[in-house]
Amino acid sequence: MPATSASESTGDVIRLEPRPRSETPPPRPGAGAAPAGPLQAREVTTWQGFDALRGSWDDVAGHMDFASPFLDWEWNRRWWDSFAAGSRLRILAFESSGEVVGIAQLQERTHRLGPLRVPSLAPIGWEDGGNQPLTEHLELLFPPRHRAALLQALAGWLRRRPWAVAWLPSLREDDRLPRWMAAHVVARCAAVPFHHRTLPETWDTFVSGLNKSMRDNVKYYPRLMVRHGHEFTFEVATRPAELEAVYPLLLDLHQRRSEVRTGVQHWNYLGLSGRRDFVANAMTRLAGRGEARIGVLRVRGEALAAYLWLERGQTMFLYRSGYDPEWSRYSVALVVALEALKDGMRRGIQRVEFLRGGGQLKERWDTETRLYRHVMLARAPRLARRLLAARAARVPTTYEVG
């Protein structure tokens, strides 16, 4: 590990709150050309069909305006292997002139609501009511230039099939839903920000462009460590075997971070063995393609903090981290993030994604923001709204009924 020093054509718009700063990356050149002919929905309901879809899946995912490892066939197939118990595949491959141009990667589940058995649809990767501890970037594979046509085709498929509840993940603030689909919206989750920013060519330019408070912190804490006799190194695991070797260390530091009861509360996203195993498998596979790294901050051989990030092209995705609370006075969580960014920038990384969720720990980097919102549809919207409103009156919910 290298070390470095210190008609249905009319639609309704689902709008979210205004963004203080926003940027939607422009579509990639030639991405998602408009369908050449009518869209046909082909249902994939077996794992063999799932496997056969791999090439088309990754081609479509590569044409998304925000491509990430979380949208890959590999990530979703391994998630299905790990967490699909009790669910059934309902993947929709939308084809035009024999070519797959969009995919709704759905699964069907059956839930009990009192004496009733309620069939529901949700995307593969869906967990905890839309809170995504593993698949942080989750959206239907509808490339931008024909997204409207794909939403229209999905609405047509939903009208013809039996279901009670369906979740549409990560709708954007100006997504236009077909009228029938909009009429069946019964709940909306709170808008979730995705913070990101571009990275300049040099570290000095990056630091000088930060706000004064952050600029001072970036300079102060590494110097404080050195001034107090804590010269540090930053080791980066890049090969699958190297990541496997330091992964237990990351897990320990991630858990210790979650046990801190002062300041910002951090969750232990990898506390369950199934999630730990899934991430271990995913990161080693990605490392085999040069798309996953773990950086470890050490003083005299002792690990103080660690960061796992993923990469795609010239973008890095800060995924999971941890630190030793006994070193909090040196803000080692910040220092390890700085070293990860330095490592990426040295290799030509031009963009950093902080993934889902907001707060000062992300906003302090002078980020820009995209907003996404999960939306719930119901086959019987009036009944569903009444049931959801009654439930919301009894217990806290993460969605707005209406």
From the list 314, 307, 368, the residue with the least C-alpha distance to 346 is: 314
Total domains in the fold of the chain = 2
pLDDT at position 2, please? 54
Contacts of 162 (CB under 8 A, 6+ apart): 119, 379
Indicate if the alpha-carbon torsion angle 393, 399, 400, 402 is positive or negative.
negative
CA distance 323 to 310: 19
Domain contains 14:
no
Per-residue pLDDT for 27 more than 60? no
pLDDT at position 167, please? 96
- In this structure, the answer to whether residues 338 and 397 fall within a common structural domain is no
Contacts of 100 (CB under 8 A, 6+ apart): 53, 56, 57, 59, 60, 93, 94
Per-residue pLDDT for 145 more than 90? no
Q: What is the pLDDT of residues 348-390, one digit of tens each?
A: 999 999 999 999 999 999 999 999 999 999 999 999 899 888 8
Q: Which helix (H) or strand (E) element contains residue 54?
A: helix 54-61
Domain contains 24:
no
Q: What are phi and psi of 340, to 5 degrees?
A: -65, -45
CA distance 343 to 315: 12
**Span 156-167, mean pLDDT?**
95
Query: Model-level pTM?
Result: 0.89
- In this structure, the answer to whether residues 92 and 211 fall within a common structural domain is no
Domain contains 23:
no
From the list 119, 87, 117, 102, the residue with the least C-alpha distance to 41 is: 102
Kindly state the percentage of the chain with pLDDT values over 90. Answer: 77
For residue 24, name the pLDDT band (cuts at 50, 70, 90): very low
- In this structure, the answer to whether residues 174 and 124 fall within a common structural domain is yes
Higher pLDDT, 219 or 112: 219
- In this structure, the answer to whether residues 204 and 331 fall within a common structural domain is yes
| Domain, as residue range, for 314 | 200-349
Of 47-56, 71-80, 105-114, 375-384, the one with minimum mean pLDDT is: 105-114
pLDDT at position 5, please? 45
Q: What is the pLDDT of residues 313-353, one digit of tens each?
A: 999 999 999 999 999 999 999 999 999 999 999 999 999 99
**Span 82-87, mean pLDDT?**
93
Of 272-276, 286-290, 394-398, the one with minimum mean pLDDT is: 394-398
Going by their DSSP bridges, the two strands 399-401 and 192-198 should be labelled as unpaired
pLDDT at position 121, please? 97
pLDDT at position 19, please? 33
Q: What is the pLDDT of residues 240-260, one digit of tens each?
A: 999 999 999 999 999 999 999
Q: Please, how many CA atoms are within 13 Å of residue 325, restricted to the half-sphere of its CB?
A: 14
For residue 30, name the pLDDT band (cuts at 50, 70, 90): very low
Please answer whether residues 323 and 337 qualify as being in contact, where contact means their C-beta atoms are separated by less than 8 angstroms: no
- In this structure, the answer to whether residues 344 and 394 fall within a common structural domain is no
Helix, strand, or coil (residue 364): coil
Please answer whether residues 148 and 69 qualify as being in contact, where contact means their C-beta atoms are separated by less than 8 angstroms: no
pLDDT at position 198, please? 98
- In this structure, the answer to whether residues 51 and 138 fall within a common structural domain is yes
- In this structure, the answer to whether residues 148 and 51 fall within a common structural domain is yes
- In this structure, the answer to whether residues 93 and 211 fall within a common structural domain is no
Per-residue pLDDT for 12 more than 60? no
pLDDT at position 219, please? 97
Domain contains 2:
no
Per-residue pLDDT for 7 more than 50? no
pLDDT at position 161, please? 93
- In this structure, the answer to whether residues 173 and 204 fall within a common structural domain is no
Domain contains 358:
no
CB atoms within 10 A of CB 22: 12
pLDDT, the chain, mean: 90
Going by their DSSP bridges, the two strands 116-123 and 368-378 should be labelled as unpaired
Please answer whether residues 333 and 327 qualify as being in contact, where contact means their C-beta atoms are separated by less than 8 angstroms: no
Token output for 5:
């020093």
| Location of structure tokens 């808008």 | 191
Helix, strand, or coil (residue 374): strand
Domain contains 18:
no
- In this structure, the answer to whether residues 125 and 186 fall within a common structural domain is yes
Q: What is the CATH number of the domain that holds 108?
A: 3.40.630
Q: What is the pLDDT of residues 190-223, one digit of tens each?
A: 999 999 999 999 999 999 999 999 999 999 999 9
**b/e string for 375-390 if b means 16 or more Cβ within 10 A?**
bbbbbeeeebbebbee
Higher pLDDT, 34 or 69: 69
pLDDT at position 14, please? 40
Going by their DSSP bridges, the two strands 351-356 and 315-323 should be labelled as parallel
From the list 124, 191, 192, 188, the residue with the least C-alpha distance to 378 is: 188
**b/e string for 47-86 if b means 16 or more Cβ within 10 A?**
eeebeebeebbebbbbbbbbbbbbbbbbbbbebbeebeee
pLDDT at position 320, please? 97
**Span 29-48, mean pLDDT?**
77
Of 51-60, 71-80, 260-269, the one with minimum mean pLDDT is: 260-269
Q: What is the CATH number of the domain that holds 265?
A: 3.40.630.30
Of 52-56, 63-67, 226-230, 319-323, the one with minimum mean pLDDT is: 63-67
Q: Which helix (H) or strand (E) element contains residue 168?
A: strand 165-172
